[in-house]
Chains A and B, each alone.
Chain A
Amino acid sequence: MSHRKKKKKGSENVELNLAAMLDMAFQLLAFFILTFKPSPVEGQINLKLPPPMPVVGAAKGQAAGDNNNNQNAVQAFESLVISVFSTPGGKISTMAIGEANVAGVSALEGRLKAVLSDANSPFKQVIIQVASKLRYAELMRVVDVCTRQTLPNGEKLTKLSFVELPTE
């Protein structure tokens, strides 16, 4: 019997075949590249929109604060009414705060600031009466102006209501 000396292999090299793993990795990469869609960064304006409550308006032709017999000023004038009329194309034509006409969006901002900064101002919310054809982009300009205002109590004006004006 011849003894065969077992030749000890000093080191066995185990070689990993990376080609298969690389194939899998490319598959995953292709999936994520195809499903990658950069979404645009969108901003938002947060609002509280309660359903519009009926407003106790002033008598026709009467300006706010004129009626000395009105003992309950808060009930009548808690809501500031802004009216926005549109052109047939959907752009803003005229605006009004209460009964007073306002020239444009920048004039609206100035007027709103003046009204709401008054410490005695009773307004807690704004009702925006909007012409039916007014485009959303134009409405957002008005909403933007309103939400930039601060109420006399220091809170931001976020309570709005929308009312659709009857079609002429």
Chain B
Amino acid sequence: MSGSMNSEASAEPNLTPMLDLVFQLITFFMLVTNFKAASLDLNLKLPVVGSARPLETEGEDLLILNIDSVGKLNVYGVTQNIERYIKAEAKASRLTAKRLNPNFKADDDLPTTIVVRADKQTPFNLLNVVIKTCQDNGFRKFALKAMNKEDG
């Protein structure tokens, strides 16, 4: 019996199933990645209010204001001057509203909802500066953010 011996045996792993699995993982992370969370200051400890409910705000014009315990306004990690920032946002909101609704008048209430994310230790007088500035610039709709249960 003559048998030829293979001097080299090469084993090539089949990469197709691994590629499949990796594509599954990529699809998962593409679906769950939320880039809007970058606008939230996650260092803030929000108050706990049992009746606070996450509401569907898809399509609504929102302006998120992160206010820390010393009353500073943080936007994408950068501290902003409250009055200047809100005035600029009000101007932009007014322009957008005018574009969407030609009958929108200058002294009409702005359609933008102010989302207030304030630290639970923030004293009211500092928070009130922000709220009053928003009201003075025509904002009337507010959403006060809170957790509906304690973290952890």
Contacts and interface: CB of A to CB of B under 8 A. Distances in A.
Q: Report whether chain A binds chain B.
A: yes
A43 B15 contact: no
B18 A22 contact: yes
Interface residues of A, number: 45
In the complex, which of the residues A18, A41, A136, A139 has the most CB atoms of chain B within 10 Å of its own CB atom? A136
B49 A136 contact: no
A7 to B, nearest CB: 23
A41 B56 CA distance: 12
Nearest to A131: B124
Nearest to B144: A45
Interface of A is mostly: mixed
Contacts of B37: 37, 39
A46 B55 CA distance: 9
A148 B117 CA distance: 20
Nearest to A28: B26
Interface string A14-48: 00001101100110110011011111111111111
A162 B40 CA distance: 25
Contacts of A140: 47, 49, 120, 144, 146
A123 B18 CA distance: 66
Interface stretch (B28-36, B86-94, B100-108): B28-36
Interface residues of B, number: 54
Contacts of A38: 32
B42 A40 contact: yes
Nearest to B51: A144
A140 B122 CA distance: 11
B53 interface: yes
Given A18-B19, A137-B120, A48 B33 contact: no
A50 B140 contact: yes
A58 interface: no
A141 B51 CA distance: 10
A81 interface: no
A143 interface: yes
A135 B125 CA distance: 9
Nearest to A144: B49
A158 B118 CA distance: 19
Contact of A137 (B19, B22, B121, B125): B121
B127 interface: yes
Interface of A: 18-19, 21-22, 25-26, 28-29, 32-33, 35-51, 90, 130-137, 139-141, 143-144, 147-148, 162, 164
28 contacts: A22-B18, A25-B19, A25-B23, A32-B33, A36-B33, A43-B52, A43-B147, A43-B148, A44-B53, A44-B55, A45-B143, A46-B141, A46-B143, A47-B142, A48-B142, A49-B131, A49-B142, A51-B136, A130-B124, A130-B128, A131-B124, A136-B120, A137-B47, A137-B120, A140-B47, A140-B49, A143-B49, A148-B51
Given A25-B19, A43-B147, A137-B121, 4 more contacts: A18-B19, A25-B22, A32-B29, A47-B142
